[in-house]
Amino acid sequence: MKRVMLFIVTNIAVILVLSIVVKLFGVDRFLYENGINYMSLLIFAGIFGFGGSFISLAISKWIAKWSTGAQVIVQPRSDMEIWLLNTVQKQASQAGIGMPDVAVFESDSPNAFATGMNKNNALVAVSTGLLRTMKRDEVEAVLGHEISHIANGDMITLSLIQGVVNTFVIFISRIVGYFVDRVILKNEEGHGLGFFVTTIVAQIVFGILASVIVMWFSRKREYVADAGGANLAGTGSMIAALESLQRSAHEPLPDQMTAFGISGKPSKHGFKLLFMTHPPLEDRIEALKRSAGR
């Protein structure tokens, strides 16, 4: 329930902020009685498309802590927390990034994630279930995977791609709505119900198609992050960590963090894979084995 409320509240806040921005830019009225202002529509779409994506990225650390209950380690209270801080500091130095915040969140499911606005102001968090069920060399590989996400700039790149596809969806769906309203329904008096209904339907359809592109990129970056984790902690440890995830009961992270977790929703093949943020674990393990010549 807390996650749902957070999602609703943050999205309402983002929409309100962006609505004010488009009004200030004077692009909120892109429809005219006799036509459509394509430049105003493009700016409108870009503000909402990129604005929503980057506001989400800017507040991602706060969202992550709030939705998972992750507690940042400020003063380590155990040998494990000391080891976590030292390991992340060593890997961050090897990867050439600033020291991220390190946090632990309560969950029986083994998982971890990374998020943040830039490479030098990020957050790496691991679950208590991961610390309980994995050996230290496997945990080190998981941390290396998340550090690689940060070092590769995956959060920023994914936000850029999301912004592009969001802009495309908003822009094209309104053009389709205008075409159906004026050309097919022959509405010559303002913009009727046909415009609004068609726009909503088109935005849903194009949004689903666009998500396939975003998910494809996310899956590709998982292979790269696995290779980065193998480089920082050893290929054997990275393979062992993924195999440990295969054996464990899995509870997915909140949707806004899923793309940057060590493991996404339960892996599937076929059509459903198109909408998954992560490749199947067996495919990731096989890719690491091939790269190691096994």
pLDDT in tens, 5-48: 666 777 687 788 888 888 887 777 777 766 788 899 999 999 99
Q: Indicate the pairing of strand 101-105 with strand 112-116.
A: unpaired
* pTM, entire model: 0.87
From 146, 188, 251, 286, the catalytic residue: 146
Contact 280, 264 (CB under 8 A): no
State both tokens at 170. 């908003």
Question: Is 146 annotated as catalytic?
Answer: yes
With pLDDT > 90 as the criterion, what percentage of the chain qualifies? 60
In the predicted model, is pLDDT for residue 283 greater than 80? yes
State both tokens at 249. 């009961």
For residues 177 and 193, what is the distance between their CA atoms, to the nearest angstrom?
10
The pLDDT tens digits for 184-234 are: 877 766 677 888 899 999 999 999 999 999 999 999 999 999 999 999 999
The pLDDT tens digits for 161-186 are: 999 999 999 999 999 998 888 778 77
CA 15 to chain centre: 19
For residues 60 and 54, what is the distance between their CA atoms, to the nearest angstrom?
9
Contact 144, 232 (CB under 8 A): yes
The pLDDT tens digits for 134-171 are: 999 999 999 999 999 999 999 999 999 999 999 999 99
